[in-house]
Amino acid sequence: MFRKILIANRGEIAVRIIRTCREMGIGTVAIYSEADRDALHVQMADEAICVGPAPSAKSYLNVTNIVSAAMLTEVDAVHPGYGYLSERASFAEICGSHGLVFIGPPPAVIELMGDKAAARRRMKEAGLPVLPGSDGPVKDLTEALQVVEGIGYPVMIKAVAGGGGKGMRLVKNADELRRLFPLAQAEAAAAFGDGSLYVEKYLEAPRHIEIQILADQYGNVVHLGERECSLQRRHQKILEEAPSSVLTPAERERLGSLAAQGAAAVGYASAGTMEFLMDNQRRFYFCEMNTRIQVEHPVTELITGMDLVREQIRIAAGEQLGYTQDDIGFNGHAIECRINAEDPDADFRPSPGLVQFYHAPGGYGVRVDSHLFTGYEVPPHYDSLLAKLICWGRDRQEAIARTRRALGELTVEGIRTNIGLHRRIMQEKRFINGELSTRLLEEILRSPQLVTVPVVEAEPGRAAVSDGGGVVTADGATAAGTVAAANDIGESEIEASGRGGAAAPAPTAAAMAGDEPAEPASARVAGA
């Protein structure tokens, strides 16, 4: 087993990895930017080293400085978390060339599955169903038009090196294709350094269902069931649950077998996720593979009783799984709400600033993964994810009831958050009934439904801000009002706010975008 691991990430996921390492008796090294000097993951790690100034490109994406930090601190392995360098094959190769174990799949597998067109082709060869589309990247607009002639509109044009909804456009006719193709190319080139696109048939309102897999270097592969990830805004997930409320036992078994089959076909070794789309005729199509731990992995942990980060570390250390598919059991239902620092009343613009008060919910079946604390200054440089609220119940209805209760207790003052939106989702009839699709959240946000919003009493001299963007009083007086919760959707995740506190001036969405949720923090927490 490893003696010491460097965590090449920040915020919530860095804290999450440190906790598992501590339980396993493994030393930890945190890296941080100058903006994260007082971050929680820095305070919790056994050692910490600065790798550059605030911008991610100069710190959390600075391969030279990160590898130098790993060598300086004499670690055995590097855990990349999610986002940042977690799916960069070149980083895994560089780690290996310096005698560092990369806690993830082999670089060749990362490269293959990171090329969405190549992954699609390889999974088709392995027997997985895929959507009609181009067999690889299209050379230019002319070839894209030719492909669409064969499969018909609507289609999605997608970045080959894509992720996070970037370099992706829905196209409904030839004129739109001509207009949007160069825009998607430019966005993909800016985000990934590769403007290559492929074309795929678009499903109008599918369900997004993914399968968690674990595989070791000895050819053993198991799946840990599915996660329903259909609640999305602009192709970004905001709520996940496990298991899916719609799958039959036969469909669950088939999807799990397909996912394991695909992983085995590419020699996968680590934790990973196979993503599928299900159309309204209950047909499944491979979408992509994420070759890393995912933001939503806790819902799988709660229904299986397995620590996926621990399993990642064990596999990377050369251990066999030590169990078969027959040993994997599932218990109850879990729901995860992503809590983000965003302003719903300003097109979901990021809302950095000082957290004046933070209270996490507790009680049976409630888990909060976060780097947040009272007095923490949310920086403007990184992803807006603050916390993940994960609730377990014996069945889906109990999980929903527990999530409602926990959301009612969750309090964040001083910045805007999406807590109010999650509370609204928990009351939405279609969600309660399991009538999900990737379009549902958009429909909820655009509905003309009026929502009564309680406005919390603020301290004198501090503005009070309601959960859903309701009445604001500059003098801190209590007020109540009714607001139309019919905002259009904005950029990366969703929001409303927890308890009051005036929002700090927010930067543009681009200023905090780019990385998969990686988080901030500050102030030492003893024994956290």
Place 8 in a pLDDT band, splitting at 50, 70 and 90: very high
The catalytically annotated residue of 292, 314, 396, 499 is 292
pLDDT in tens, 111-149: 999 998 899 999 999 999 999 999 889 999 999 999 999
C-beta of residue 287 within 8 angstroms of C-beta of residue 206? no
Say which residues have a Cβ less than 8 Å from residue 258's Cβ, sequence separation at least 6. 127, 128, 129, 211, 274, 276, 284, 286
Query: What's the number of CA atoms in the CB half-sphere (13 Å) around residue 480?
Result: 3
Selected residue with higher pLDDT from 454 and 4: 4
Which whole number is the average pLDDT over 377-387? 95
Structure confidence at residue 494 (pLDDT): 26
Q: Residue 332 and residue 304: Cα distance in Å, rounded?
A: 9
Find tokens 């009445």 and name the residue.
471
Q: List residues bridging with 222 in a β-sheet.
A: 214
Confidence check: pLDDT of 500 > 70: no
pLDDT of residue 234: 80
- Assess contact for 426 and 403: CB atoms under 8 A: yes
Q: For residue 292, indicate whether it is catalytic.
A: yes
Considering only CA atoms, which of 289, 371, 342 is closest in space to residue 497? 342
pLDDT tier at 237, thresholds 50, 70, 90: very high
Q: What is the 3-state secondary structure (H, E, C) of 155-166?
A: EEEEECCCECCE
Q: Which amino acid is at 207?
A: R
Q: Which residue has the tokens 């305070």?
A: 43
Q: What is the pLDDT of residues 326-345, one digit of tens each?
A: 999 999 999 999 999 998 77
Amino acid at 162: G
Q: Would you say 464 and 472 are in contact if contact means Cβ atoms under 8 Å apart? A: yes
pLDDT bucket at 346, cuts 50 / 70 / 90: confident
For residues 308 and 300, give the distance between their C-alpha atoms in angstroms, rounded to a whole number: 9
Q: How much of the chain, in percent, has pLDDT values that exceed 70? A: 84
> How are the residues of the chain apportioned to helix, strand and coil, as percentages rounded to the nearest 5?
30, 25, 45
Q: Which domains does the chain have, with CATH numbers?
A: 4-104 (3.40.50.20), 132-201 (3.30.1490.20), 207-291+296-327 (3.30.470.20), 333-512 (3.30.470.20)
The secondary structure of 67-92, three-state, reads HHHHHHCCCCEEECCCCCCCCCHHHH
What share of the chain has pLDDT > 90, as a percent? 79
Report d(CA 16, CA 7) in Å as an integer. Answer: 10
Cis ω for the linkage preceding 448 (within 30 of 0):
no
What the block records as the tokens of 309 is 């980060």
Tell me what the pLDDT averaged over the chain comes to. 86
In angstroms, the CA 270 to CA 291 distance is 8
